[in-house]
Amino acid sequence: MSTACIASIDQGTTSTRCILFGLDGSILGLGQKEHRQIYPQPGWVEHDAAEIWRNTQTVIREARIAAGEHVSIAAVGVTNQRETLAVWNRKSGAPYANAIVWQDTRTQAICDRLAGDAGTERFQAQTGLPLATYFSGPKLVWLLENVPGLRAAAESGEAICGTMESWILWNLSGGPDGGAHITDVTNASRTMWMDLNKLAWEPELLEAFGVPAGMLPSIVPSSAKTPWGYTATSGPFEARLPLCGAVGDQQAALIGQCCFESGEAKNTYGTGCFLLLNTGQTPVPSKAGLLTTVAYQFEGSPAVYALEGSVAIAGALIQWLRDNLQLIDSAPEVEALARSVADNGGVYLVPAFTGLFAPHWRPDARGVLCGLTQFATKAHIARASLEAVAYQVHDVLVAMAKDSGIALGTLRVDGGMAANDLLMQFQADLHGSPVIRPTVLETTALGAAYAAGLGAGLFSNLEDLRSHWRVERTFEPAMSAEKRDEHLAGWHKALERSFGWE
């Protein structure tokens, strides 16, 4: 008897994966392949979309082989690195240029031009986003202005665009032979062209950016009861499977963590940190340096919104300890080194290597290591580094509570650094509420699988999904309020010292 499963394609910044999930959330098969990071100039980051599509086909086949013949794929979902934008020819499927990656900063002059006298908040009331190089909209403007022939091809309807889930789904469903050109509401909400309340492309915004509407994919829910298309039998699945789940990576992690109630939040600890707070069916404008975004929409139900805060340096700080300072030989060693001392010894580290993101938004900030005495050792620096990640997350959590008016309860965590028990305990101590680590940390890919499974009717409802979510460990706060205030006072002094270096 075959085992039903869902194929989740996780198209990330450094690699593409395909994971086959059983309906209980178990991993039955996995394939993964890295792609090139292309840096044509300082500040420019590109990916070859054609290479990513080739890799996608490879990892699908790898996952199917790993799972064996006893599994039966019932639906397909896709999650993706958000804001990375590709442009390609509708008839041939060939990209006009490399995809511009979310980290790319070449569009700063375009953002300044669009801001004009109105400033970076010009479109924020409609889109939930400030004008920034991070988002997809300015990237397409740059491509239209700099790729020869692209503007004419766009005006004629031959050139189309999309974020990476659009590219993958278009190719999976046939490409030039009638491929579905769609984007889900979460990815559309990161372009600066979608009205958050209407969940539709806003003509005034497209006109302001100079973007032909015919280039854009149709906006669809994150989970579809009626599939947007089916995989081609000649493709890597070798079967006609429904494509019915698509969601941006951080929103996918929110779904994978089953944060379906207003006030539930998750944090992903990766190279940086991404916190999302479910705020319910009404978008909450931010006055504290956060983004307002769509969390998800399941077909037949209203959209759910989120506040999002990002921290630039988290896991990257541990890599810095290893590669630049050579205090450790491998990243996992940092916990044992930090545990070898009872506390931080008065040492604080602010990892503002490229400025500070939410909620401070201080591009002029630079890294600071302070509070040093002759008593300090590399163990204190290691402990201060882990604590720095927790402090940054805490600052975002405070901003979220201020914006939303929601008393934040438990924080659900995932990502590589979530395996660090010392960090998770300190996070719980600062937050004053439990930090919960699930059994399955592959929450991004799992969220896309859940979205596809809901659409395909493999799950009855959200309660069905919750029944599969399992807690691996709960970290209860154990620090006194007095001690917590002392720690935070030291952090805030260190923060002040990091400001104003440029």
- Domain-located, residue 454: no
Q: What is the DSSP letter of 318?
A: H
Mean pLDDT of the 308-333 span = 89
In the chain, what percentage of residues exceed pLDDT 70? 99
> pLDDT value at position 426?
97
* Chain position carrying tokens 């995809």: 99
> pLDDT value at position 427?
97
- Domain-located, residue 209: yes
How many H helices and E strands in the chain? 16, 23
In which band, very low, low, confident or very high, does the pLDDT at 160 lie, cut at 50, 70 and 90?
Answer: very high
- Domain-located, residue 395: no
- pLDDT tens digits, residue range 216-271? 999 999 999 999 999 998 889 999 999 999 999 999 999 999 999 998 999 999 88
For residue 58, give the amino acid letter: T
When computed from its CA atoms, the radius of gyration of the chain, rounded to whole angstroms, is 22
Q: Are strands 3-11 and 71-80 parallel, antiparallel or unpaired?
A: parallel
- Domain-located, residue 475: no
**16, 77, 117, 244, 264 from 6: Cα distances, Å:** 17, 8, 49, 11, 26
pTM for the model stands at 0.89
Angle at 241 between CA 237 and CA 245, to 5 degrees: 105
More reliable by pLDDT, 2 or 492 = 492
Instruction: Quote the mean pLDDT of the chain.
Output: 92
Widest CA span of the chain, in angstroms?
Answer: 69
CA atoms within 13 A on the CB side of 26: 7
For residue 260, give the amino acid letter: F
Which residues contact residue 440 at a Cβ distance below 8 angstroms, ignoring those fewer than 6 apart?
25, 27, 256, 446, 470
> pLDDT value at position 477?
96
- CATH number where 66 lies: 3.30.420.40
- Domain-located, residue 315: no
> pLDDT value at position 105?
82
- Domain-located, residue 18: yes
- Residue 443's nearest CA partner among 415, 471, 475 is 415
> pLDDT value at position 460?
87
- Domain-located, residue 130: yes
- pLDDT tens digits, residue range 383-396? 999 999 999 999 99
Q: Is the pLDDT at 501 greater than 80, yes or no?
A: no
Highest mean pLDDT among 128-132, 254-258, 270-274: 254-258
> pLDDT value at position 502?
57
In the chain, what percentage of residues exceed pLDDT 90? 73
- Say how many domains are in the chain: 1
In which band, very low, low, confident or very high, does the pLDDT at 314 lie, cut at 50, 70 and 90?
Answer: confident
- Domain-located, residue 73: yes
More reliable by pLDDT, 89 or 439 = 89
> pLDDT value at position 108?
86
Q: Is the pLDDT at 408 greater than 90, yes or no?
A: no
> pLDDT value at position 396?
94
Residue 73 CA, chain-centre distance (Å), reads 26
Mean pLDDT of the 138-159 span = 96
- pLDDT tens digits, residue range 322-373? 988 999 998 889 999 999 999 999 999 999 887 788 888 777 888 999 999 9
Q: What range defines the domain where residue 50 resides?
A: 3-249
- pLDDT tens digits, residue range 62-110? 999 999 888 899 999 999 999 999 999 999 999 999 999 888 888 989 9
**110, 131, 133, 247 from 113: Cα distances, Å:** 5, 10, 12, 31
